[in-house]
Structure 1
């Protein structure tokens, strides 16, 4: 089955100081074979010319709306993204769309990306959250996959079926929002996944905007906040020792998790959600993977 004629989607993007790369994302979206019903771009206080670029596209395309927020003086990672996303969400009428998209401003992708991804939803009524998979260019210009388990829809570009989005009560305004949404959707019986054949070129490596080492530490803290099993976290940290940034990336993930245990303590998931994700993680450690269509 192909994409239904009346399948409509709206995009929300939260951006800040992306002047050097934002045109790649803008051009990727405006050239989509399946045009968005609406694209709300929330400019979170950019000071580098991003706003002017966005306004140019807003004038040219009637379905683009730019919202300007005051500059808070710094980027607010994690919760700040969802805060801005929710500002854009107020401009979306759910009665007019079938899918809602959270899209970062540092991505480049083919013109059939959203058409192909939405067709996955149309072919599987149980699919609640999905994405393509991000890749970045190495120093020798080859594409390097940013690995993610198949069941995980990646944070930089997520498509939500509107009914699923409503059931999970939207996004949590904190670190780990892009893990908690998957946990909640799965616990409610929805399927979630990424499709590696649908490639997104990440114009900066994942979790690197504030520095890749800080990003890995934040990954570990997020793992604690979202209830990761200690054994799974340890295995994840060891795995990351052998991936860029070698050795230190894995150490920083483990350190972030331990920091969360000592300093933060309060987690963002319920006891039921924590039990659910830890059960899934132990299965993965034992090599038991969910069956995918």
Structure 2
């Protein structure tokens, strides 16, 4: 028998529900023989009480109303019958359309999409339990702890239930949903995440190193990698020409544009000697960034994407912040989102990333923009990873490396304008690939942090285990 626990509220499942094989636990009264009502308001006590009373060996958490397909109970049960703990999720239908999820590859964030139905053995749930201090992040915390017990997260590729169309947006900022969390939810998720880091030996609490700065022929080098951005590269360069801080150079690497971008760059470079173009045939984004850094002459290196813009005071404010904080490896500001014509998209608001700290950055999608680096730090860290992150995630990976041993200064001003358009890499890169690349960066960072902490214990004469 399978026991369905309606974890998300007062609702009932529908579809292929055989009362002889399935029992339901809910907080909504219903006149059905297979429905058990437990009138407990908070989720964790309700779920644990339902699990204790369940007759089924297998439990399904329902996180919303679902209509189940024929045979779902057999497929879920077979998947949960393993010699090790498992948490099982499946593809499903959404508003009549197949919703294909992704194989789980170790994503440690709370945002990995797992649908609306999760399966686990009753014995596993009763052994691990749900932590009562969590009101909403209890299943995220449970998943992290289950993995630490040698558990596996298993995706079933067959749609086993249907839910109404969610109306959720994809693409731009979809993975940044945490920016709109209520404060209490953010606190819970952060606690679950940081508790996990501490259990796994990857939580950083010290070890900030002094930055060894280098000299520069100019204060700032703005670096721009570009390919086929004829529509926007002029706007990016115009935003630089309007800067209140004028002592900078612009290093642009074009990796083989065929749409007139090279000609636009050459025209700007002829008018302003601060612009230093590099034209190469082919190359990845990470290779273009690294070429820019190697050719740059600035003490600081500021990143600007070829379809974005700076505010007029961006370099002045960023330079001042870095000068006031000689201990910082990089500075990061707020940004706003604009449309293709440069108009502010007000409903998206200002992106501040106030959740940032050197541990929480491992579960978020980034630290923000504008990013201004000490060139010496980029060189010390080996520049952007061309092998693992050729065209996506290279900047996130570099931020993770930098904050492991250095400070990051937050610049509490909007200095950057991120342009939303159909050709943006955040739109064109497949969601599964983005998740997997960020997961790769986080896994590597976790291992580095464990080594940092072990080295710190050894230095203090304590056992590294």
For Structure 1 versus Structure 2, the TM-score category normalised by the shorter chain is 0.5 to 0.7
| Other-structure match for 1:195 | 411
C-alpha distance in 1, partners of 2:267/2:381? Answer: 35
1:223 aligns with 2:438: yes
Match of 1:150 among 338, 346, 356: 356
Q: Which residue of 1 aligns with 2:332?
A: 131
Report the TM-score when normalising by structure 2: 0.42
Distance (Å, rounded) in 2 between the aligned partners of 1:69 and 1:24:
22
| Residue 29 of structure 1: how far off its partner (Å) | 0.8
Task: Tell me whether 1:122 sits opposite 2:335 in the alignment.
Answer: no
Change (3 A) 1:32 1:210: closer
Q: Kindly tell me the number of residue pairs found equivalent between the two proteins.
A: 221
RMSD of aligned C-alpha atoms? 3.1
CA shift, 1:172, in A, is 1.6
- Label 1:202 to 1:140 Cα distance change in 2 as closer, same or farther (>3 A): closer
Question: Is the CA contact (8 Å cut-off) linking 1:12 and 1:103 kept in structure 2?
Answer: yes
Bigger radius of gyration: 2
User: 3-state SS of the aligned residue for 1:55?
Assistant: helix
Instruction: Write the mapping of 1:1-293 to structure 2, written as runs, cut at 5 A.
Output: 8-70=219-281, 72=282, 80-93=284-297, 97-137=298-338, 141-142=345-346, 144=348, 145-146=350-351, 148=353, 149-151=355-357, 154=367, 157-173=370-386, 174-175=388-389, 176-188=393-405, 190-204=406-420, 209-210=424-425, 212=427, 214-227=429-442, 268-269=444-445, 271-273=447-449
Q: Distance in 1 between matches of 2:337 and 2:233?
A: 16
Query: Is the 2:251–2:295 contact (alpha carbons within 8 Å) kept by the matching residues of 1?
Result: yes
1:152-177: CA deviation from partner (whole Å, max 9, x where unpaired) = 66576421113322332222223232
Secondary structure of 1:88's match?
A: helix
Q: In the superposition, relative to structure 1, how do residues 35 and 128 fare at CA in structure 2: closer, same or farther (>3 Å)?
A: same
143 and 31 in structure 1: CA distance in 2 versus 1, 3 angstrom threshold = farther
Compute the displacement of 1:121 (Å): 1.1
Q: Deviations over 1:213-272 (max 9, x none)?
A: 7453333112211125xxxxxxxxxxxxxxxxxxxxxxxxxxxxxxxxxxxxxxx54722
Deviation of the 1:27 alpha carbon: 0.7
Given that residues 42 and 84 in structure 1 are in contact (C-alpha distance below 8 angstroms), is that contact kept between their aligned partners in structure 2? yes
Equivalent residues of 2:293, 2:375 under 8 A apart: no
Unaligned stretches of 5+ in structure 1?
Answer: 1-5, 229-267, 278-293
Higher RCO (Cα < 8 Å, 6 or more apart): 1
Q: Out of 36-45 and 50-59, give the one that drifted further.
A: 36-45
Unaligned runs of 5+ in 2: 1-216, 454-465
Q: How far off its partner does 1:7 sit?
A: 7.1
Q: Is the 8 A contact 2:321 2:411 kept in 1?
A: no
- 1-structure distance, mates of 2:426, 2:401: 29
- Residues in 2 aligned to 1:163 and 1:25: alpha-carbon distance in whole angstroms: 26
CA distance in 2, matches of 1:184, 1:119: 24
